[in-house]
Structure 1
Amino acid sequence: MNLLLIRLIIFAVLFFAGLQLYRMYRQWKLDREEALDSESQQEGGQMVRCAWCKVHVPEADALREQGEWFCSSAHRDRFLQEQHPEE
């Protein structure tokens, strides 16, 4: 009877220790994923230069037209007007 009770206590302790380790691993993994996500959001990607005003903007926010990068649609339109003036 005593041996059965001791085995039951040991099993319960091991079970709860394993459960605690699993929870710690899961939390560590979630924290790591959040850190990677926030790091990639802070980077913003590669910087490109506006062909009109020469300001550098993240590639994700820039507009591309005819192989050139622009920081806004207004600068894109001005640049294209200058390249192809209407007659």
Structure 2
Amino acid sequence: MNLLIIRLIIFAVLFWAGLKLYRLYRQWRLDQDDASRPRTIDDGRMVRCAYCRVHLPESDAIRRDALWFCNESHHARFLEEQQPKG
């Protein structure tokens, strides 16, 4: 009976140590992947498309007059809807 308890304790300690080593390895790999990626700082502001109301970075948006659009087709649709019908 004592030998069974000792084996169980040894198994638990080995399992715990293996889990700790795995977590350390996984964190090391994540740090390596982060270090290899180029860092870009995007401090541009967000603007909203006047047609679909989707927010997007100002650098990706198209500005027409005082309005922002996410693409040219939304600009064209916005102008079509603003035209008086009749």
TM (normalized to structure 2)? 0.49
